[in-house]
Chains A and B, each alone.
Chain A
Amino acid sequence: MNESFDIQSIRKQFPILDQEVYGKPLVYFDNAATTQKPLCVIERERAYYLNENCNIHRGVHYLSQKATEAYENARKTVADFIHAREAREVIFTRGTTESVNLLATSFEHFFIQEGDTVLVSAMEHHSNLVPWQQMVQRHHGNLLVIPMSDQGELDLNCYSELLDQRPKLVAVAHVSNVLGTINPVKEMVRMAHEKGIPVVIDGAQSVAHMPIDVQDLDCDFFVFSGHKMYAPMGVGVLYGKAEWLEKLPPYQFGGEMVDVVSFERTTFNVLPYKFEAGTPNVGAALGLEAAIRFLQRLDRSAVESHEATLLHAAVDRLCGIEGIRFIGEAKNRSGLVSFVVKGVHPYDLGTIIDKMGIAVRTGHHCAEPVMTRFGIPGTVRASFAMYNTLEEVDAFVAAVKRAALMLR
């Protein structure tokens, strides 16, 4: 079923790319914020609302049963995609942020006590940092932080020592949204498990770019968003090992997640429904399934090598710009390049190249501690997806050069 990697046929499936902004062809390099959606995903969600829309699970009628079946099939597709043992280990959420908040809330009730700590890395996105911080602070505990090198690589020796302080869990990004670093999460999970500590992996920035195998990683939890992997906004995933999810108490209460309700007491539904209170975003979940099918039809190693080519070309060509400083130069990187130019504010640079049709992100990228670590106000971040081209990289580098000249 593999289609060979043909960039033009891929771009045709993303009609949004074929437009001009301010009279210039759009170069969309803000994929780490959200990717564009292929026609098959848009069509899937549309078809759901055209022909299948219905509230799921409890309905006895035809449409409800069809929608329920489709939704549960989407769950199986996600489970296969990340190689979970069982579909019930896949909880649908609104996105990575909700997945982490769900976990933090349930963990807190389950086993966080006075003075407990959680171990995070120095490169976490706020959404894999603040929920844990607030959780432990409510119990007068604090976060432990795995430091990183100037290249943006985590210090595994320090990590090992920090594990000896017995944090209640480890929360770490698979790929950094600012630095692009691919963290050695498999090794980190192994090290944590040696000390009996569970690990949560934030896969928001990895899932679109590399195959994910949660059994191979052996992580206890893996969270990601649909919208950063070509799926619609409003759906995300919390994967958890069944033995963990069974133990954790529910996050939100309401319909769907209950078993028997009386005014005196309530018993809760089984996995995965225990964690899915209320009506889910069925259309988006079906869109996520379509996005997975879309990825599976492609030769993913060809996609990976295309994205690596874009990244290396961008780094190579940006090197020629006077005063450039890359933020994040890890050996293992994926998907994006972050930088500052001496004497130029990232905001100014982003504003000028926007007018040349280039969409990048500037600022702290929801990772303020990373900015503090490198002593900068923010970076310019160009992040890539499968549909980007080398010509776009050239246009981007030329725009940065011109803007830097204007601004210095």
Chain B
Amino acid sequence: MTIKEIQDSIVEDFSMFDDWMDRYAMLIEMGKECPMIEDQYRDEQHLINGCQSRVWLSAELKEGKVYFAADSDAVITKGIVYLLIKVFSGQTPSDILAADMSFLDEIGLKEHLSPTRSNGLLAMLKQMMLYAEAFKLQEDKR
């Protein structure tokens, strides 16, 4: 699936619920499916600042595609990071860098997260983009 197709399916999943409680319940459930970061990466270097909770994120490039793994000590944060992972994992660095992220507005995540929290979300996004950029540079050199 393309990034756009995955985003559309997430938007569809979220649109089933009017109530924010149900949306959070879904996020929490989703978080449980998050590909777990390997213990060796659970360190300061992989920690993302800007959240009240701690989030670790790692990435690797396999056959031209990026695969992310993450963990957080807060389950909602974990759900949010998994949402991003779902969108980006298995995509090429170029596609990730070119992605339109307005779907976050559509599912109401951005508007319903206060600035500090949304900073956390933005910090995660930024870190993923940095990984994609680094991988792209690596590939270009070859």
Contact = CB atoms under 8 A, between A and B. Distances in A.
A22 interface: yes
Nearest to B25: A406
For chain B, the bracket of interface size reads 10 to 19
Contacts of B117: 351
Contacts of B21: 352, 355, 406
A407 B21 CA distance: 11
A313 B66 CA distance: 53
A406 B32 CA distance: 13
Between A351, A352, A362, A407, the greatest number of chain B beta carbons within 10 A of the residue's beta carbon is seen for: A351
Interface residues of A, number: 14
A345 interface: yes
Interface stretch (B1-9, B72-80, B128-136): B72-80
A86 B141 CA distance: 74
Main DSSP-derived SS at the B contact region:
helix
A362 B52 CA distance: 8
B77 A355 contact: no
Contact of A347 (B20, B24, B25, B77): B77
A22 B22 CA distance: 14
Contacts of A347: 51-53, 74, 76-77
Interface string A24-57: 0000000000000000000000000000000000
A234 interface: no
B75 A345 contact: yes
Interface string A332-364: 000000000000011110011001000000110
Nearest to B54: A377
B56 to A, nearest CB: 14
A345 B73 CA distance: 7
B54 A355 contact: no
B75 A355 contact: no
Contacts of A345: 53, 73-75, 77
Interface string A375-390: 0011000000000000
Interface in B82-119: 117
Contacts, number: 39
A355 B20 contact: yes
Between B24, B51, B54, B74, the greatest number of chain A beta carbons within 10 A of the residue's beta carbon is seen for: B74
Nearest to B79: A348
B28 interface: yes
Contacts of B51: 347
A378 B77 CA distance: 15
A172 B54 CA distance: 31
A344 to B, nearest CB: 8
A406 B54 contact: no
Nearest to A363: B52
B17 to A, nearest CB: 12
Contact of B24 (A346, A351, A362, A363): A351
Contacts of B54: 377
Contacts of B20: 22, 355
A346 B73 CA distance: 10
B52 A406 contact: no
Contacts of B52: 346-347, 362-363, 378
A266 B52 CA distance: 48
A249 to B, nearest CB: 38
Contacts of B24: 351-352, 355, 406
Interface of B: 20-21, 24-25, 28, 51-54, 73-77, 117
20 contacts: A22-B20, A345-B53, A345-B73, A345-B74, A347-B52, A348-B53, A348-B74, A348-B75, A348-B77, A352-B21, A352-B24, A352-B76, A363-B52, A377-B53, A377-B54, A377-B73, A406-B21, A406-B25, A406-B28, A407-B75
